[in-house]
Amino acid sequence: MSEVAAAPGTGTPTTRAMSRAEAPEVPARLADEDATYWFLHRGLGWTVVLQLVWVFDGPVQTATLTAMNRALSHGVLHRQLIRPGIPGARPRWNTAALNPELSIDDRTISADRIDAWAADEMATVDLDPEAGRCWRMRVVRCDSGDTAISLCALHLVADGRTMVRAAADAMARAGTVDPDVPRREAHDVAPRSRRRRRVDDVIDAAGQVGRAAAGIVRAINATRQQDDPSVPGVADRPVRAPMAQRAPHARWARATAAVPAVDWDRISAECGGTANSLYIAVVTGLLRSSGYARLGETVKVGVPVDIRAGVDDTRANATAGVSIMLTDDPLPGGDLGPIRRAGKMAYQRLSDGRRPAMAHLYSLVWLLPASWVTKVVTAGSGMPDAVVSNLGDLPPEMLELDGCRARRSQFRGMAQGVDAAMPHRFGDGVQSWLVRTPDRVTFSVFGCDEERFDSDERLRDLLEEELSAWSLPYEVW
């Protein structure tokens, strides 16, 4: 349940303009990294939605917006999920048959309503992978003359890097004479017979059985490995009440902050850290000041890491999460070195192939009934207290459209369909997503624990207090 991020030292997600002759090849079936979001879809009935939001300082022409929307329909987001005919086989991807129409609101809104407008879109957009509705682009004009754009996509079809790349490519093509790009297909070029599809499903299911068996062996070996004794474990975390008790209404509080990049870099350097370690410190500091965990109590911070092999790796989700256990976080203005070192150790463990046992069992998701998987993944207390997803630098193509500059850019995500009557929740303490432009660092925060974050105003106050304590200038909305 996390977003993609680049680990410090490994480089931030990069985007290259795709060939004008063809769009990237889409993998034929879901990958193991997609298993989480497929399980949430079929097992819990959740729809995990990601959102990019821009505010452009001028009226972007409708023709340009339409061209961008059309270009998106030729990119990696434009897919349709086909369920397999054989148990144990993975669902297949096809190109979606219908192109989503650009949605432009009839009425203008005031600039101070943009975030509420975008949040409502993310919470209510009707996406369905099996119907081929995996993304939607919506636009609203502001009475100030600005143009706000929301691009929502299913996490099942895209992680943060995939979505950023798809948006950048579409925006780059929006200004061309013909934004349409033929999609290169490695599968379903011609209709296949029902028998051929069934044979393919049998072959895939057999492969999953073998991979699941190998994964079980790796999981057993992982549990036997002696981890670094200097790193606190999950057992050191305080026992908390079940999330359904702490969040009985299954609601999230939201806040977004923008900080000048030069000040963010200056403070992180002065405190002996990196831009990413400062990000972790601010988010965990906010979590502690809320009363969720006192200084001295261990909190688990989940940091998603991009594991793509390169720019030609077109998996929808290619993320491995690492965990950092923090007990004596630096107070604002303190030494960021411990967070930086803890992060390096976590990334090194991932590089060495030392992963939690559960990470080796994704192949079982395709083989076991959803009810069984639900019992396994919701048992215990392994969910991070905070998830910090650093998507890094946005490509230049995303910062200007039709001659208008992007005054704001942000990224975030949520789960639709979380039933307050059920015991399951999306997230525990806080979830956060960061993007960067040459002049600003912008990160959105969702408070999941209703006892600590009972309103948007409460979360914004805590965020402002934390940024002020770090002597960072900011804008919060």
The predicted pLDDT at position 146 comes to: 97
Percent of the chain with pLDDT over 70: 83
pLDDT digits (tens, 9 = 90+) for 233-266: 555 788 899 999 999 999 999 999 999 999 999 9
Mean pLDDT, to the nearest integer, of 206-216? Answer: 81
Mean pLDDT, to the nearest integer, of 11-28? Answer: 45
Lowest-confidence pick of 103-107, 311-315, 402-406: 311-315
Highest mean pLDDT among 6-10, 109-113, 217-221, 318-322: 109-113
Predicted confidence (pLDDT) at residue 186 exceeds the cutoff of 50 = no
| Contact between 343 and 324 (Cβ < 8 Å) | yes
Measure the CA–CA gap between 203 and 466, rounded to whole angstroms.
54
Predicted confidence (pLDDT) at residue 347 exceeds the cutoff of 90 = no
Q: Which residue has the higher pLDDT, 8 or 314?
A: 314
**pLDDT grade, residue 180 (50/70/90)?**
low
Three-state secondary-structure class, residue 433:
strand
Q: Is 296 exposed, middle or buried (0-12, 13-18, 19+ CB in 10 A)?
A: exposed
- Sign for the pseudo-dihedral over CA of 126, 128, 133, 136: positive
Tell how far CA 410 is from the center of its chain.
Answer: 12
Predicted confidence (pLDDT) at residue 358 exceeds the cutoff of 80 = no
**pLDDT grade, residue 71 (50/70/90)?**
very high
In 225-326, which residue ranges form alpha helices assigned H by DSSP?
243-246, 261-270, 275-289
Percent of the chain with pLDDT over 90: 62
Query: Is this structure's pTM higher than 0.85?
Result: yes
Give the chain's mean pLDDT: 86
Q: Which residue has the higher pLDDT, 410 or 219?
A: 410
Look at the block and give the residue holding tokens 């991070």. 384
Predicted confidence (pLDDT) at residue 366 exceeds the cutoff of 80 = no
Give 241's contacts (C-beta < 8 A, 6+ positions apart): none
Give 451's contacts (C-beta < 8 A, 6+ positions apart): 246, 247
Predicted confidence (pLDDT) at residue 365 exceeds the cutoff of 70 = yes
Lowest-confidence pick of 25-29, 259-263, 399-403, 415-419: 25-29
Buried b or exposed e, range 463-472, using 16+ CB within 10 angstroms: bbebbeebeb
Measure the CA–CA gap between 205 and 3, rounded to whole angstroms.
28
The predicted pLDDT at position 6 comes to: 33
Lowest-confidence pick of 44-53, 184-193, 214-223: 184-193
CATH number of 236-357+376-408+417-476: 3.30.559.30
pLDDT digits (tens, 9 = 90+) for 437-457: 999 999 999 999 999 999 999
